[in-house]
Amino acid sequence: MTLTNEQIFGTLVLPYLNHAVRMYEASYASSTDIDAGMRFGCGYPQGPLAVIDELGAATVRDQLAARFAETGDHLHEPAELLEKLATEGRTFAEEAAGAEAAAPQFKQEIRKVGVVGTGTMASGIVQVFAQAGYDVVFVGRGDDKINGVIAFIDKGLSKLVEKEKITEDTKSDVLGRISGSTEREALADVDIVVEAIAEDLGIKTDLYKDLDRICKPGAILATTTSSMPITKLGEVTSRPEAVIGMHFFNPATIMKLVEVVTTNDTAPDVNETVLALCANVGKVAVSCGDRSGFIVNCLLFPYLNDAVTLLESGAATMDEIDAAIKEQAKFPMGPFQLLDVVGNDVSLAIQQELLAEFKEPGFTPAALLEQKVAEGKLGRKTGEGFHVYA
């Protein structure tokens, strides 16, 4: 039997809403940051808690309760706070009223920025800081890599000139603030280093030992990791209080969101300075702790995994699921379109991390997702994923 659009919405979106309530309930992130994370990180028209307010907490609770009765999956059991708000007839907007924090202030001066890495993410981050007026030095493994970053940024700035968003003089000024080096010692005088290298804990910890030796006292050491435990990076330095996450979203020049991730050791002044820095470069910063998935991935990937599981069940086709989600939830992409953009290998790795962190059986990766990865059908980057690309 093919499900209706409303049933597909209920199957996939209700658990996502419930996860968001539990995230807020656990004081992991504020309701404002959870909603901003999904709006600016995924392009959703509304955050999940705002959606619950619109639908009504009682409606969402009742629909989840019906789903829980059917599946017995703990992830479908209405969160306690959802029950409370439904009973009291209150909203998340009311729950958050008066909780707005003051605008963050720089607690230490940031004049010069260092970036480690030469990939697309690192290149975008270099451009973001340079366009915001900061002097930036970036470090790569060879002159070819260094030249590649400069060429990438030059091309991006040239497009902005063509669109008349900046002038040629502005482009020259931005490029003049950027310098590259093959030696990490070039980072000795920067006020903050943003690391954007391979997602490999061994490689990252080696880098952090080196940064701790090279960087001046007080310099902030930030990582763009989306999956590595930031606490472990801090532990290999003599300055764990200065280690923090700055998870930019790709492409960094366009995506507005940065997840600012603190460990138990991160100093409050470091956190506030990084939040102020994000605002200064035109980004929307959301705060959260050092936990697998942070805000966005923790909410997004179980939903994508659930979509694959629904496809496996035969209750709806890929096209039906994608169309239903775009129509009912107003998400910019259906789940299978998004999986192919993100990469099925990336999706599988994140889902495995979430399962290891939270031990929720409902987070077990879908067999079909594992199969796609095993077959090398990773999505757009390989020409085939859930869809086939020319």
Q: Give catalytic status of residue 327 as yes or no.
A: no
Q: Give catalytic status of residue 297 as yes or no.
A: yes
Given the residues 297, 305, 344, 347, the one annotated as active site: 297
Tell the burial category of 98 from Cβ atoms under 10 Å away from its Cβ (0-12, 13-18, 19+). exposed
The CA distance from 149 to 127, in Å, is 9
Q: Give catalytic status of residue 238 as yes or no.
A: no
Q: Give catalytic status of residue 272 as yes or no.
A: no
Given the residues 31, 95, 247, 271, the one annotated as active site: 247
- Pairing status of strand 243-248 against strand 257-262: antiparallel
Given the residues 77, 95, 195, 259, the one annotated as active site: 259
Given the residues 18, 30, 123, 226, the one annotated as active site: 226
- Pairing status of strand 243-248 against strand 284-289: unpaired
Are 320 and 312 contacting, i.e. CB atoms less than 8 angstroms apart? no
3-state SS track over the chain = CCCCHHHHHHHHHHHHHHHHHHHHHCCCCCHHHHHHHHHHHHCCCCCHHHHHHHHCHHHHHHHHHHHHHHHCCHHHCCCHHHHHHHHHCCCHHHHHCCCCCCCCCCCCCCCEEEEECCCHHHHHHHHHHHHCCCEEEEECCCHHHHHHHHHHHHHHHHHHHHCCCCCHHHHHHHHHCEEEECCHHHHCCCCEEEECCCCCHHHHHHHHHHHHHHCCCCCEEEECCCCCCHHHHHHCCCCHHHEEEEEECCCCCCCCEEEEEECCCCCHHHHHHHHHHHHHCCCEEEEEECCCCCCHHHHHHHHHHHHHHHHHHCCCCHHHHHHHHHHHCCCCCCHHHHHHHHCHHHHHHHHHHHHHHHCCHHHCCCHHHHHHHHCCCCEHHHCECCCECC
Catalytic residues: 226, 247, 259, 297
